Amino acid sequence: MAEQNFDVVVIGAGPGGYVAAIRAAQLGLKTAVIEANHLGGICLNWGCIPTKALLRSAEVFHLMNHAESYGLKAEKVSFDLQKIVERSRAVSKQLSGGIGHLLKKNKVTVFDGYGRLKGKGTVEVEKKDKSKETISGKHIIIATGARARVLPGLEPDGKLVWTYREAMLPDMMPKSLLVIGSGAIGIEFASFYRTLGADVTVVEVMDRVMPVEDEEISGLARKSFEKQGMKIMTSAKVVKLEKGKDNVTCHVDVGGKVEKITVDRVIAAVGIVANIENIGLENTKAKTEKGQIVTGKYSETDEAGVYAIGDVAGAPWLAHKASHEGIICVEKFAGLKDVHPMDKGAIPGCTYAHPQVASIGLTEAKAKAAGHEIKVGRFPFMGNGKAIALGEPEGLVKTIFDAKTGQLLGAHMIGAEVTEMIQGFAIGMTLETTEAELMHTVFPHPTLSEMMHESVLSAYNRAIHF
């Protein structure tokens, strides 16, 4: 078969790869994308999207169990775990098919197979039948993503010890569950299973739950999770898993003392590892460091014409970071003017547990450590009419400003729908807004977003409703 030539070849069709491919095609570049498994990658098929579908089912179940507080009646509320999972998979299937349509619409050539760099400007595609085809590209973008990290002695077996995949496709509803790790993935699964009635223990090696979040928000999250019945163990480490016939005894080291906890299932959520192996990096000058591909500010590697975006190129490991990185990368090598490198400090992060957590920019501690003199504003959900009307009075919006310039340094929230609200602060940061513009912005009433306004006012001792 004659070699096919392209302007752009993208290896991996996750949220970084397929977006980069579409943008390249929009700019008139002949584009191909190679995907070994599912269009949409881990995020759409096994991560961001299906977990949100699961969590939505849990949220509705929670509301039904509290119907009386809304003046409603719902008796003998129950759930069908299989149907919850089926709905989640159907959502992913629908969106994966949609990406296939978008790629076709934009005339992106899709290769079903495994892509490897084979030398200057060439990529080998190994198809499912093991046949191979070589294609060439002036620009090659690596978007191979990442996989779950596995710790020695805590290896998942798919039956008693789960990764995120098994946790999304449970063959039974565990009565008890231990989650290793309290990052976004671990906490979301802990929240899902706890809401459905499982006895959940979360073990975190750091000194607080959700350790990347602002310390104040982290403390409020722990208080809320424990109020729901979760057991949270911080400064703790699972040192051994002792498997029984249908349960696991977890040996947890807390301050030198080992506590044994027996549960039906364990979920390992201890981070991710970039997929840099077996993709042909040895055939290039591209460098790796700490398990990820080293890139410049426009995603370029040390190999001319080869780029890396998304999880494979390092933190933050977020789908929206990968997508935006892909667009910047393509627009830069396509020659567009006014292409700006990504500000990784202005990327919002969201956790869709109950309650939700969202943040952007510097935490209070990091702002101080960076030498800023700061002003901090806070506004509680209890002071907001819409939150009370929704029956969601627990939460906080916290804002951090540079005291000298008024620059918005960070925003941190916990409570209902904060994952939607955080984008307002993201836009503010992109526009390099100060407290003055935010104060002069009119927020609609009654909305949860009014708390964003009040938090800004609070930082300058001008809050009206608290």
- Tell me, what CATH number does 194's domain have? 3.50.50.60
Spatial strand order in the sheet of 357-361: 349-351, 357-361, 408-414, 396-402, 374-380
Which DSSP category does 3 fall into? Answer: P
* Res 446: pLDDT: 97
Q: Are residues 182 and 121 in the same domain?
A: no
Of 387, 379, 381, 436, nearest to 411 by C-alpha is 379
The answer for residues whose C-beta is within 8 angstroms of residue 133's C-beta and 6 or more apart is 1, 4, 111, 113, 124, 125, 127
Of 198, 180, 176, nearest to 251 by C-alpha is 180
Rounded to an integer, what distance in angstroms lies between the CA atom of residue 351 and that of residue 365? Answer: 20
Rounded to an integer, what distance in angstroms lies between the CA atom of residue 167 and that of residue 186? Answer: 10
Rounded to an integer, what distance in angstroms lies between the CA atom of residue 98 and that of residue 243? Answer: 42
Tens digit of pLDDT for each residue in 309-318?
999 999 899 9
Does residue 15 form part of some domain?
A: yes
- CATH number of the domain that 439 lies in? 3.30.390.30
- Long-range contacts of range 341-346, CB-CB < 8 Å, 24 or more positions apart? 341/297, 341/298, 342/297, 343/429, 344/315, 344/316, 346/426, 346/429, 346/430
Q: Are residues 140 and 12 in the same domain?
A: yes
Does residue 203 form part of some domain?
A: yes
Does residue 310 form part of some domain?
A: yes
Does residue 349 form part of some domain?
A: no
- Count of structural domains within the chain: 3
Q: Are residues 72 and 98 in the same domain?
A: yes
* Res 46: pLDDT: 77
Q: In Å, how far are 11, 194, 271 from 289, measured between CA atoms?
A: 20, 38, 17
Does residue 156 form part of some domain?
A: no
Q: Are residues 304 and 380 in the same domain?
A: no
* Res 207: pLDDT: 95
Rounded to an integer, what distance in angstroms lies between the CA atom of residue 213 and that of residue 349? Answer: 9
Active site residues: 445
Rounded to an integer, what distance in angstroms lies between the CA atom of residue 267 and that of residue 163? Answer: 6
- Long-range contacts of range 236-244, CB-CB < 8 Å, 24 or more positions apart? 236/203, 236/204, 236/205, 237/203, 237/205, 238/154, 238/178, 238/180, 238/203, 239/153, 240/153, 241/153, 241/154, 241/161, 241/266, 243/157, 243/160, 243/161
Rounded to an integer, what distance in angstroms lies between the CA atom of residue 282 and that of residue 375? Answer: 50
* Res 3: pLDDT: 63
Q: Are residues 26 and 123 in the same domain?
A: yes
Rounded to an integer, what distance in angstroms lies between the CA atom of residue 329 and that of residue 20? Answer: 8
* Res 43: pLDDT: 72
Which DSSP category does 285 fall into? Answer: S
The range of the structural domain enclosing residue 247 comes to 161-270
Q: What's the token pair of residue 354? A: 């109950």
Q: Are residues 138 and 277 in the same domain?
A: yes
Domain boundary residue, one of 240, 270, 300: 270
Q: Are residues 143 and 24 in the same domain?
A: yes
Q: Are residues 326 and 253 in the same domain?
A: no
Does residue 131 form part of some domain?
A: yes
Element (H, E) at 125: strand 122-126
- DSSP string across 180-221: E--SHHHHHHHHHHHHTT-EEEEE-SSSSSSTTS-HHHHHHH
Residues in the chain where the model's pLDDT stays below 50: none
Q: Are residues 256 and 129 in the same domain?
A: no
Question: What's the whole-model pTM score?
Answer: 0.94
Rounded to an integer, what distance in angstroms lies between the CA atom of residue 376 and that of residue 398? Answer: 7
Q: Which amino acid is at 128?
A: K
Domain boundary residue, one of 220, 254, 270: 270
Does residue 342 form part of some domain?
A: no
* Res 37: pLDDT: 85
Q: Are residues 34 and 140 in the same domain?
A: yes
Q: Are residues 142 and 8 in the same domain?
A: yes
* Res 279: pLDDT: 95
Does residue 153 form part of some domain?
A: no
Q: Are strands 265-268 and 161-162 parallel, antiparallel or unpaired?
A: parallel
Domain boundary residue, one of 255, 270, 285: 270
Q: Are residues 261 and 225 in the same domain?
A: yes
